[in-house]
Chains A and B, each alone.
Chain A
Amino acid sequence: MSTRSLSKGCFVFKPSPKKRKVSRTTAYYFREGSSDLEDSELRFATCQSLQKQVKSETEQIEEELNEQLFDNLVSFLRRSHSAFQEKKTEWTCRTKSREIPTAALVLGVNVTDHDFTFRSLSEVLQNNVTPYIALLEAKDCPGIKNLMQKLLGQLMNCCIDVDSSEEEDYEHVSRSRVRCSMTTLINWYESATKRTDSETPGKKRTSSRHWQSPPVVVIFKDMESFTTKVLQDFVVISSQHIGEFPLVLIFGIATSPMIIHSLLPHSVSSLLCIELFQSLSCKDHLSTIIDKILLTTQFPLKLSEKVLQVLINIFLYHDFSVQNFIKGFQLCIVEHFHSNPLSVLCCQLEEAKRRVNSLSHNQCENVRRLPSFRRYVESQVSEKQIALLTVDSSLKEAVQKLLEDLNVYHENYFPILRCLHVFTSSLPKYPLGKQIRELHCACLENRVWETEEYESSLQLARMLNKSDLVTMLQKCVEILVSSPGREFDEIVEKLKEFLTQFQKLEEAYQERDESISPQKELQKKTNLYHLQKTLLELKESRRSKKLTKFEMLRFEVVDYIDSLVRHYLVPADHKTLHEIVYFNTASVLREHLNAAPRIALHTALNNPYSYLKAFSTVVTAAEGPTADAASSDQVDDVIHARFIRAVSELELLGFIKPSKQKTDHVARLTWGGC
């Protein structure tokens, strides 16, 4: 495996669940590792299909998110391309210097996500614009020579792909000897475009989707890491020939476009015609992913509050990488299906109901052991209790019903959560968080209506002005109408009724004089200062006179929302059988995703005795299973001697040194680059 890093050291490679999937004996490992053998095959199949679903879904979402950016880029290419084909007789075109069209593509610091973006970008370009695309990376291009080699190699290769096979051998041989100069490139371009032109009448293909004389697009994946000299030379060389073939550069930038000015002096940057393109910020990207993947009923597996928090924290605190977040989610899927025997029921409702019928006795016992189920049993009357605990069939019946309840709960939970978010996201200072994920975490953690933040949110909501309130209610109606929940008709009716009442109120206002206008004006202002002021005034006015009709109605609305929250946003771990669909072992996830190699090494090496033990285990294991040596506590003298000798040798070579402290003896010094 390779790293992006330039420094040497110890690297942690996160286990990728995808890899485990493809290996031949995955199913075997899946069974092997799990403590419980129940339904492992079925679980494995469910897990795999879910993985596949998640993968395709995320890829589609990402495609949609990038669409705008790619459209902009393609239209930029088209513009610069038409400028290339422009008649050169016009005075301005003759007089102004020819610049190389350059797109500065700012992608954000999440370098690990860039690969995906570039891959889909080159796919888009390849499909619609041009077959001639070269992707350059700084680590391949320490000098201008390597850069040109790489560039020519990639461009001419893509030409071979179009070619018939008989030419391939010839091209392949000549490529190694080809002169890496711009002249070669231009000659190649001329012959390549000419060939495709002459071929089109015979075979109908590529040229219809590609443009006439397609531009050559050179993408610098990581602008920051290129050395100044290589970039400068390349720009200067290609600017000499920009009149001869349509070249377009794309700079992939992770930090800020200022880097162009710091890398290239004015004399070089004046050869470029730079336009800026910005991708969606990674935080928005994550929000969309969470919104579309986690906050739907589409996938049966759900994440508990702690697990979600771990994933979000890694994202926000460490890497900003959406890909890693998705990988983390996939790991959760594997881990859940692997460790939880009851996860076999974690699938679509119909399927789950069928599976309940075929549960074995052991599995039924597993169900009985679930804490949430025990709580459920205790709440039942005694005959029912006995039936549930002893008769498998009545248990299965109950489980089916409970699973259905759980499904209904989820169907209602997400739309109501969105409605609540409509309210909380427009309050000043966001007591319950700006993002829906924060609200979701708060709701999962415990009863949200018992928290202080919720209380203050309601307080603030009671001070919303009418136009805001009306738009919010309308949004809520939209959300509820478009969601599949069964119980929403009533709620929608109620909300619509509120809306008509507001409407009537307005008409009544208009009939009356404008005497209330100052108060109305105050209500329009929504920042904190004005809200406070309004609050004070309202308090005074409340003391002096009784509530207006509008205020009454507002209280009613807020109270109604509050009742909805209390009814539908019960935390998931209060629900029976939540263990089946919620993955909640955050510690395992943390161990996998946020390893601490330094601490592990430190504890391992601090204690020479455990070092010796480890050494003897490794040595005896290597020499073959002569089990008696390993089983005895006493370390073999020969091994002991070998250990001491090896340690002193390592010390001599400098890999290990005594730490000069009394308690611990050695400290490894090669941690540095992790």
Chain B
Amino acid sequence: MPILEHPAYPPATLLCLESLVPCRESQVSMLLSIFGERQQLSFPSIFIYGHTSSGKTYVMKTLLNTLQQLPHVFVNCVECFTSRLLLEEILIQLQNHSSETRRASPVPCDTFNDFVRLFKQALVSQNLQDQTVLDRAEQLREMEANILPAFLRLQELTDRNVTVILLSEIVWEMFRPNTGCFEPFILYFPDYSIGHLQKILSQNHPPEYSADFYSAYINILLGVFYMVCRDLKELQHLAALNFSKYCEPVVRKEAKERDTRKLWKNIEPHLKKAMQTVYLREISSSQWERLQCEEGELGQIKGLSAHAHVELPYYSKFLLIAAYLASYNPVRTDKRFFLKHHGKIKKTNFMKKHEKTSNHLLGPKPFPLDRLLAILYSIVDNRVAPTANIFSQITSLVTLQLLSVVGNNDQLDGPRYKCTVSLDFIRAIARTVNFDIIKYLYDFL
């Protein structure tokens, strides 16, 4: 019993479409009803939203491509990062399928006004429907203020039978401009459930193996990954990467295709390992594939986070430590930490009310250059001269993003910095120079 029914299209095409968009039948039939027949006037703008990889782009693309009668323009807004690029891209695509011959140079189109004029020229016939799909529409908000409202009422402006479809991952409320605009028809694509994922993933099975065999594999895969990842694309990628390992016992004739338990025992630890490495992009998928082929130990290739250690020049280390102390200690406590005869100050009566919360929870505070240098002089054992090299080291720490400059860089005020490294990082650094940083941190007193 076909779910999709439409008078304008032959049932065979609809059936084919249905097989291509599993689990999205209701949305597709909704869209088809809105579009209506080709000569009918459609709704001016449709806003489709849903979480990452809920099939928005895929469904729209297959829908428009399968039903050949719908001429359309498909544009990714991330790719067209300025309004000019976006408008020109739309025009180029329009020209391409209105006339057979490809025009060499596109007409420059700077404003929306020009766009409307050129759009009219390109779309001569008034009655036939045309779709313009804007993918990743959230980028539109960052362009000129008139772009989004104008697209929403493009039908009215151009006097052509055109529908603008916006695809986005965020809800319409985040788009609505202050000045108000034409409200589009809003359509929500819900997340795929685990059943949906199973169905969709199993559909694309390799020709050498039966559908049941692959479906069992997908079941195991989802059992491992569903907790952390519901991204269909990612799951498909992982399925393709690990399938050869799953087949291994079958290929070696150690197990039959029905021997699910044996196969599960073989693949499960492998998949868990994949979750910790290749899924997090600790090692790349091509490295993963090579490992599978060579049957090598996983220890051979270390992940990216295994190389967290950063080697710094001696004084850079102390500069970073000093910056960390300046960022996380209140200014008043400097006297206690860095003067020899500071007297006894107990933490309880020393503390002000707002300092009771841990400074590490609040994040780093900015500090002036002079304070950094003062702390540096007192934590380095031998005398340090404030040479040009020391200052250039501060700058290079900034370029390495270990420190960051705060505030407007006024000529008159000395620059202010923040230390952006983590406690673990600074402890590792401090250990290499035998400096017990915990003893100098107010939070750990």
Residues of A within 8 A of B (CB): 3-9, 11-12, 79-80, 83, 91-92, 95-97, 99, 101-102, 104, 106, 108-109, 111, 143-145, 148, 179-183, 222, 224-225, 233, 236-237, 240, 254-261, 266-267, 269-270, 272-276, 278, 281-283, 314-320, 594-599, 654-655, 669-674
List residues of B (284-323) whose CB comes within 8 Å of A's CBs. Answer: 284-287, 302, 304-305, 307-316
Q: Give CA–CA (A270, B239) in the complex, Å.
A: 15
The listed residue with most A CB atoms (<10 A of its CB), out of B85, B241, B304, B411, is B304
The listed residue with most B CB atoms (<10 A of its CB), out of A83, A225, A317, is A317
B385 contacts A596, C-beta separation under 8 Å = yes
Across the interface, A99 reaches (CB within 8 A) one of B80, B89, B285, B389, namely B285
Q: From B385, which residue of chain A is reached at the shortest CB distance?
A: A596
Say whether B19 faces chain A, with CB atoms less than 8 Å apart: no
A270 contacts B236, C-beta separation under 8 Å = no
**Residues of B contacting A281 in the complex (Cβ-Cβ under 8 angstroms):** 311
**Residues of A contacting B241 in the complex (Cβ-Cβ under 8 angstroms):** 92, 96
Q: From A102, which residue of chain B is reached at the shortest CB distance?
A: B284
A654 contacts B412, C-beta separation under 8 Å = yes
B307 contacts A278, C-beta separation under 8 Å = yes
Say whether B177 faces chain A, with CB atoms less than 8 Å apart: no
Given A92-B244, A224-B399, A275-B287; A109-B281 close (CB under 8 Å): no
Given A95-B240, A273-B284; A597-B314 close (CB under 8 Å): no
Q: Give CA–CA (A194, B302) in the complex, Å.
A: 40
Say whether B401 faces chain A, with CB atoms less than 8 Å apart: yes
B80 contacts A109, C-beta separation under 8 Å = no
A83 contacts B311, C-beta separation under 8 Å = no
Q: How close is A655's CB to chain B, nearest CB, in angstroms? A: 8
Q: Give CA–CA (A273, B283) in the complex, Å.
A: 8
A8 contacts B411, C-beta separation under 8 Å = yes
Say whether B369 faces chain A, with CB atoms less than 8 Å apart: yes
B236 contacts A96, C-beta separation under 8 Å = yes
B240 contacts A96, C-beta separation under 8 Å = yes
- The 3 A-B pairs with the shortest beta carbon distances in the complex, nearest first, are A96-B240, A672-B414, A95-B240
**Residues of B contacting A273 in the complex (Cβ-Cβ under 8 angstroms):** 284-286
**Residues of B contacting A111 in the complex (Cβ-Cβ under 8 angstroms):** 396, 399-400
Query: Which DSSP category, helix, strand, loop or mixed, fits chain A's interface?
Result: mixed
**Residues of A contacting B13 in the complex (Cβ-Cβ under 8 angstroms):** none
Q: Give CA–CA (A184, B66) in the complex, Å.
A: 28
Say whether B409 faces chain A, with CB atoms less than 8 Å apart: yes
Across the interface, A275 reaches (CB within 8 A) one of B284, B308, B398, namely B284
A240 contacts B79, C-beta separation under 8 Å = yes
**Residues of A contacting B333 in the complex (Cβ-Cβ under 8 angstroms):** none
The listed residue with most B CB atoms (<10 A of its CB), out of A3, A179, A597, A654, is A179
Q: Give CA–CA (A272, B237) in the complex, Å.
A: 12
List residues of B (66-102) whose CB comes within 8 Å of A's CBs. Answer: 76, 78-82, 85, 88-89
Q: From B396, which residue of chain A is reached at the shortest CB distance?
A: A111
Q: Give CA–CA (A8, B76) in the complex, Å.
A: 40
A261 contacts B304, C-beta separation under 8 Å = yes
Given A256-B307, A273-B285, A318-B315; A7-B405 close (CB under 8 Å): yes
Say whether B146 faces chain A, with CB atoms less than 8 Å apart: no
B388 contacts A597, C-beta separation under 8 Å = yes
Across the interface, B304 reaches (CB within 8 A) one of A4, A143, A258, namely A258
Q: How close is A165's CB to chain B, nearest CB, in angstroms? A: 23
Say whether B234 faces chain A, with CB atoms less than 8 Å apart: yes
**Residues of B contacting A95 in the complex (Cβ-Cβ under 8 angstroms):** 204, 206, 236-237, 239-240
B385 contacts A317, C-beta separation under 8 Å = no
Q: Give CA–CA (A275, B284) in the complex, Å.
A: 6
Say whether B391 faces chain A, with CB atoms less than 8 Å apart: yes
Q: From A316, which residue of chain B is reached at the shortest CB distance?
A: B314
A80 contacts B313, C-beta separation under 8 Å = no
**Residues of B contacting A236 in the complex (Cβ-Cβ under 8 angstroms):** 78
B310 contacts A256, C-beta separation under 8 Å = yes
Q: From B285, which residue of chain A is reached at the shortest CB distance?
A: A273
Across the interface, A674 reaches (CB within 8 A) one of B88, B310, B388, B399, namely B388
The listed residue with most A CB atoms (<10 A of its CB), out of B244, B285, B287, is B285
What are 19 of the A-B contact pairs (CB < 8 Å)?
A4-B399, A6-B395, A6-B405, A6-B409, A8-B411, A96-B236, A97-B233, A101-B286, A109-B316, A222-B399, A254-B399, A255-B310, A259-B401, A276-B304, A317-B314, A319-B393, A319-B396, A669-B413, A673-B395
Q: Give CA–CA (A281, B315) in the complex, Å.
A: 18
**Residues of B contacting A182 in the complex (Cβ-Cβ under 8 angstroms):** 79
Say whether B386 faces chain A, with CB atoms less than 8 Å apart: yes
Q: Give CA–CA (A655, B395) in the complex, Å.
A: 22
B244 contacts A595, C-beta separation under 8 Å = no
**Residues of A contacting B50 in the complex (Cβ-Cβ under 8 angstroms):** none
**Residues of B contacting A670 in the complex (Cβ-Cβ under 8 angstroms):** 411-412
A7 contacts B409, C-beta separation under 8 Å = yes
Given A96-B236, A596-B386; A260-B400 close (CB under 8 Å): no
Say whether B178 faces chain A, with CB atoms less than 8 Å apart: no
B304 contacts A260, C-beta separation under 8 Å = yes
Interface size for chain B: under 10, 10 to 19, 20 to 34, or 35 or more residues? 35 or more
**Residues of B contacting A109 in the complex (Cβ-Cβ under 8 angstroms):** 310-313, 316, 396, 400
Q: How close is B38's CB to chain A, nearest CB, in angstroms? A: 29
The listed residue with most A CB atoms (<10 A of its CB), out of B314, B316, B400, is B400
Say whether B193 faces chain A, with CB atoms less than 8 Å apart: no
A92 contacts B400, C-beta separation under 8 Å = no
B388 contacts A317, C-beta separation under 8 Å = no
Q: Give CA–CA (A273, B304) in the complex, Å.
A: 12
**Residues of B contacting A233 in the complex (Cβ-Cβ under 8 angstroms):** 78, 81
**Residues of A contacting B285 in the complex (Cβ-Cβ under 8 angstroms):** 96, 99, 273
Say whether B189 faces chain A, with CB atoms less than 8 Å apart: no
Say whether B179 faces chain A, with CB atoms less than 8 Å apart: no
A257 contacts B307, C-beta separation under 8 Å = yes
Q: Give CA–CA (A269, B314) in the complex, Å.
A: 33
The listed residue with most B CB atoms (<10 A of its CB), out of A108, A258, A670, is A258
Say whether B207 faces chain A, with CB atoms less than 8 Å apart: yes
Across the interface, B399 reaches (CB within 8 A) one of A6, A80, A282, A315, namely A6
Say whether B52 faces chain A, with CB atoms less than 8 Å apart: yes
Q: 0/1 per residue, B178-215, Cβ < 8 Å to A?
A: 00000000000000000000000000101110000000
Q: Give CA–CA (A282, B52) in the complex, Å.
A: 43
Say whether B387 faces chain A, with CB atoms less than 8 Å apart: yes
**Residues of B contacting A12 in the complex (Cβ-Cβ under 8 angstroms):** 388, 392
Q: Give CA–CA (A655, B307) in the complex, Å.
A: 46
What 19 additional pairs, Cβ within 8 angstroms, besides A95-B206, A109-B316, A275-B284? A5-B392, A5-B399, A6-B409, A95-B236, A96-B237, A97-B234, A102-B284, A145-B82, A256-B309, A270-B234, A270-B281, A274-B281, A282-B311, A283-B311, A317-B389, A318-B389, A594-B388, A595-B387, A596-B387
Q: From B402, which residue of chain A is reached at the shortest CB distance?
A: A255
Q: Give CA–CA (A530, B402) in the complex, Å.
A: 42
**Residues of B contacting A315 in the complex (Cβ-Cβ under 8 angstroms):** 313
Say whether B243 faces chain A, with CB atoms less than 8 Å apart: yes
**Residues of B contacting A654 in the complex (Cβ-Cβ under 8 angstroms):** 412
Q: Give CA–CA (A318, B220) in the complex, Å.
A: 54
A267 contacts B52, C-beta separation under 8 Å = yes
A274 contacts B399, C-beta separation under 8 Å = no
Q: Give CA–CA (A99, B173) in the complex, Å.
A: 33
Say whether B149 faces chain A, with CB atoms less than 8 Å apart: no
Given A181-B79, A673-B415; A258-B305 close (CB under 8 Å): yes
List residues of B (370-412) whose CB comes within 8 Å of A's CBs. Answer: 385-393, 395-396, 398-402, 405, 409, 411-412
Q: How close is B373's CB to chain A, nearest CB, in angstroms? A: 9
Q: How close is B152's CB to chain A, nearest CB, in angstroms? A: 24
Q: How close is B369's CB to chain A, nearest CB, in angstroms? A: 6
Q: Give CA–CA (A108, B400) in the complex, Å.
A: 10
Q: How close is A272's CB to chain B, nearest CB, in angstroms? A: 7
Q: From B393, which residue of chain A is reached at the shortest CB distance?
A: A318
A320 contacts B313, C-beta separation under 8 Å = yes
Across the interface, B395 reaches (CB within 8 A) one of A5, A104, A257, A266, namely A5
**Residues of B contacting A274 in the complex (Cβ-Cβ under 8 angstroms):** 281, 284, 304
Q: How close is B422's CB to chain A, nearest CB, in angstroms? A: 10
**Residues of B contacting A80 in the complex (Cβ-Cβ under 8 angstroms):** 286
